[in-house]
Structure 1
Amino acid sequence: MRPLGPIPVAEVSTSDIKALREATGAGIMDVKAALTEAKGDSDVAADILRKKGLADAAKRADRSNDQGTIGHYLHVQAERPVVGVLVELRCETDFVAKSEEFREAAKNLAMHIAAFKPGWVRREDVPEDVIAKEREIAGEQAKNEGKPDNVIERIIDGRLEAFMKDNVLYEQNFVKADVYDGTVKVMLDEMSGRLGENIGVGKMSRVAVGE
Structure 2
Amino acid sequence: MAEITAAAVKDLRERSGAGMMDCKKALTETGGDMEAAVDWLRTKGLATAAKKSGRTAAEGLVGVAVEGLKGAAVEVNSETDFVSKNDQFQDFVRTVTQVALTTGDDVETLKSAAYPGGEGSVADKLTANVATIGENQQLRRAKTVAVSQGAVVSYVHNAVSPGMGKIGVLVALEGDAPKDAIEALGKQLAMHIAAASPLALHEEGLDEAMVERERAIAAEKAAESGKPANIIEKMVEGAVAKFRKESALVSQLFVMDNKTKISDVVAKAAKDAGGSIALVDYVRFQLGEGIQKETSDFAAEVAAASGIGAKEPASAQ
Q: Normalized against structure 1, the TM-score is what?
A: 0.59
Q: Could you report, residue by residue, the CA deviation over 1:20-75 in whole angstroms, capped at 9, with x for unpaired residues?
A: xxxxxxxxxxxxxxxxxxxxxxxxxxxxxxxxxxxxxxxxxxxxx84121121111
1:174–1:183 CA contact under 8 A, matched in 2:
yes
In 2, Cα distance between equivalents of 1:181 and 1:150: 31
Letter matched to residue 191 of structure 1: A
Deviates more, 1:115-124 or 1:144-153: 144-153
Aligned with 2:166: secondary structure?
strand
- 1:44-193 alignment to 2 at 5 Å? 66-76=148-158, 81-91=165-175, 93=176, 96-98=177-179, 100-177=180-257, 181-193=259-271
In 2, Cα distance between equivalents of 1:124 and 1:66: 24
Letter matched to residue 111 of structure 1: M
In 2, Cα distance between equivalents of 1:141 and 1:197: 47
Q: 1:208 aligns with which of 286, 289, 294?
A: 286
Q: How many residues align?
A: 141
Letter matched to residue 183 of structure 1: K
1:181 shift after superposition = 4.5
Percent sequence identity is 32
CA RMSD between the two structures: 2.4
Give 1 or 2: higher helix fraction.
Answer: 1
Letter matched to residue 250 of structure 2: Y
Aligned with 1:135: secondary structure?
helix
1:196 shift after superposition = 5.0
Unaligned runs of 5+ in 1: 1-64
1:67–1:97 CA contact under 8 A, matched in 2:
no
In 2, Cα distance between equivalents of 1:124 and 1:74: 27
Letter matched to residue 76 of structure 1: N
- 1:36-51 alignment to 2 at 5 Å? none
Label 1:197 to 1:139 Cα distance change in 2 as closer, same or farther (>3 A): farther
Deviates more, 1:82-91 or 1:191-200: 191-200
Unaligned runs of 5+ in 2: 1-146, 290-317
Q: Normalized against structure 2, the TM-score is what?
A: 0.40
Aligned with 2:239: secondary structure?
helix
Letter matched to residue 253 of structure 2: N
1:127 shift after superposition = 3.8
